[in-house]
Amino acid sequence: MPISNKRLLIAAELLGQVKSVADIGTDHAFLPIHLIREGIAEKVIACDIAEGPLSVAKANIIKYGLAEKIELRLANGLLGLAPNEVEAITILGMGGETIADILTDAPWVKKSDLILILQPMSCDDRLREYLFREGFEILTEVGVESQNRFYTVMKVRFDGNLPKVGSEYKYIGKLLENPNDAAITFVKNRLKSLKSCMDDIKNVERKQELFKELEIVVHEIEKFLVKYI
Ligand SMILES: C[S@@+](CC[C@H](N)C(=O)[O-])C[C@H]1O[C@@H](n2cnc3c(N)ncnc32)[C@H](O)[C@@H]1O
């Protein structure tokens, strides 16, 4: 089963070689199967909150003869894992707020030798805000296009510091450090939605503070984007 989903392929690439990884919200287990077949991981714990996806995952794992390398667990978020069980965690294909909630519920993820690969389907700004506030460093971010929608895949690690970042960080993170077409389109779309939000609030008196904040953010993003327009 060669996987074609670019979100998953980029996540696997960012992960790099590891002994053990937990894939949270594994669904069909395509990512765990890819990680084992490509020799990226030696062992995967594939977790999902629902029985239905886990039975699909089980059928796929058996089909590829990987039952000894991929263990299935029915669990909410990270609650089915013990601290130190894995070297890395992948959480892909969920909303940014859900991903932040899953991390919040497992405070043991705050350790510097644990790699997190996170791919929000929405609310990436809320996820970055959470990561920033809680002392997680985004090591790298890669833009990806899938079925005409644009996403970010982040490689993250806890370091306990508050990074020195500009006002645009919450909205575009480190996407333009890897300025592929998907990243540039993602950032252009973000700029459009921020401008449209500013239009909506420009005459609302109690939103003037937010309006001024967004003006600065938009100006910063335009400065970054100017090279790519
Ligand atoms: C849209 S699928 C994503 C599948 C795969 N990770 C991907 O990116 O293609 C989301 C999966 O996450 C599972 N899920 C949702 N909330 C969860 C939670 N709190 N803990 C574990 N799994 C969860 C759902 O049951 C579903 O199988």
- Domain containing residue 130: CATH number: 3.40.50.150
Query: Given a cut of 90, is residue 61 above it in pLDDT?
Result: yes
Decide: 53 in ligand 1 pocket, CB within 6 A.
yes
CA–centroid distance, 78 to ligand 1, in Å, is 12
Cβ neighbors of 5 (< 8 A, separation 6 or more) are 30, 146
120 falls within a domain: yes
228 falls within a domain: yes
In this structure, are 136 and 33 located in the same domain? yes
Instruction: Give the span between the Cα atoms of 152 and 11, in whole angstroms.
Output: 10
Pairing between β-strand 41-48 and β-strand 18-24 as defined by DSSP bridges: parallel
Q: What are phi and psi of 138, to 5 degrees?
A: -85, 110
End position of a domain, from candidates 163, 187, 218:
163
Query: Given a cut of 80, is residue 149 above it in pLDDT?
Result: yes
Tracing tokens 């058996």 back to the chain, one arrives at 62
In this structure, are 12 and 105 located in the same domain? yes
CA–centroid distance, 8 to ligand 1, in Å, is 13
In this structure, are 22 and 79 located in the same domain? yes
Residue 148 tokens, joined: 């005409």
Laid out side by side, the sheet with 70-74 consists of 70-74, 41-48, 18-24, 88-94, 115-120, 149-158, 136-146
Q: Which residues pair with 115 in a beta bridge?
A: 88
Total count of domains within the chain: 2
1 falls within a domain: no
Query: Given a cut of 80, is residue 77 above it in pLDDT?
Result: yes
- Given ligand 1 and candidates 48, 90, 105, which is best to mutate, with the most ligand atoms within 8 Å of its CB? 48
Decide: 33 in ligand 1 pocket, CB within 6 A.
no
Query: Given a cut of 90, is residue 2 above it in pLDDT?
Result: no
In this structure, are 87 and 12 located in the same domain? yes
Decide: 49 in ligand 1 pocket, CB within 6 A.
yes
Look at residues 49, 46, 68 and name the one whose alpha carbon lies nearest to residue 57.
46
Residue 70 CB neighbour total at 10 angstroms: 24
Query: Given a cut of 70, is residue 133 above it in pLDDT?
Result: yes
CA–centroid distance, 71 to ligand 1, in Å, is 16
Instruction: Give the span between the Cα atoms of 222 and 200, in whole angstroms.
Output: 20
Look at residues 53, 56, 57 and name the one whose alpha carbon lies nearest to residue 36.
57
- Given ligand 1 and candidates 94, 118, 144, 153, which is best to mutate, with the most ligand atoms within 8 Å of its CB? 94
Among residues of the chain, what percentage have pLDDT more than 70? 99
227 pLDDT band (50/70/90 cuts)? confident
168 falls within a domain: no
In this structure, are 62 and 150 located in the same domain? yes
CA–centroid distance, 117 to ligand 1, in Å, is 14
53 falls within a domain: yes
CA–centroid distance, 48 to ligand 1, in Å, is 6
Q: Average per-residue pLDDT in the chain?
A: 96
In this structure, are 121 and 225 located in the same domain? no
1 pLDDT band (50/70/90 cuts)? low
**Dihedral of the alpha carbons of 158, 160, 166, 172, in degrees to the nearest 10:** 20
CA–centroid distance, 45 to ligand 1, in Å, is 14
End position of a domain, from candidates 115, 138, 163:
163
pTM: 0.96
In this structure, are 17 and 107 located in the same domain? yes
The string of pLDDT tens digits covering residues 80-97 is 999 999 999 999 999 999
Decide: 27 in ligand 1 pocket, CB within 6 A.
yes
- In the chain, what are the helix, strand and coil shares in percent, each to the nearest 5? 45, 25, 30
Residue 191 tokens, joined: 């700029």
pLDDT at position 162, please? 87
Decide: 77 in ligand 1 pocket, CB within 6 A.
yes
Using only the alpha carbons of the chain, give its radius of gyration: 19
In this structure, are 137 and 192 located in the same domain? no
In this structure, are 159 and 185 located in the same domain? no
Domain region containing 207? 179-229
